[in-house]
């Protein structure tokens, strides 16, 4: 019995991107990426968790140069990993 491929709409979510001096990364929590169903929910999370950066001139200037993370649209893809694959 062969499995049929089911065409579905891509699963679009909002993630939070953080910029470092050495690159960029998505935010993770409890070993899972932070994903939100709406941009507004992601922005609220950023404001609640990282809003203090806006009022801290010491963190926004060198040597830290911190900026607020920002929400980005992402496509969530689940793919089965067969034995022996990475």
CA distances 13 to 3, 32, 73, 74, Å, are: 27, 14, 6, 5
Reported as a single tens digit per residue, the pLDDT across 16-30 is: 999 877 889 999 999
What tokens does 2 get?
Answer: 């062969």
Q: What is the domain partition of the chain in residue ranges?
A: 11-71
Band of pLDDT at residue 3, cut at 50, 70 and 90: low
CA distances 3 to 17, 59, 79, Å, are 36, 53, 14
pTM of the model: 0.79
- At 49, which helix (H) or strand (E)? helix 39-50
Spatial distance between the Cα atoms of 78 and 18, rounded to a whole number of angstroms: 23
């Amino acid at each position: 019995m062969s499995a049929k491929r089911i065409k579905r709409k891509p699963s679009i979510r909002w993630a939070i991107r953080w910029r470092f001096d050495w690159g960029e990364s998505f935010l993770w929590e409890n070993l899972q990426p932070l994903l939100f169903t709406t941009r507004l929910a992601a922005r609220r999370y950023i404001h609640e968790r990282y809003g203090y950066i806006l009022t801290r001139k010491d963190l926004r200037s060198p040597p830290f140069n911190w900026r607020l993370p920002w929400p980005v649209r992402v496509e969530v893809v689940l793919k089965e990993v067969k034995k022996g694959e990475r």
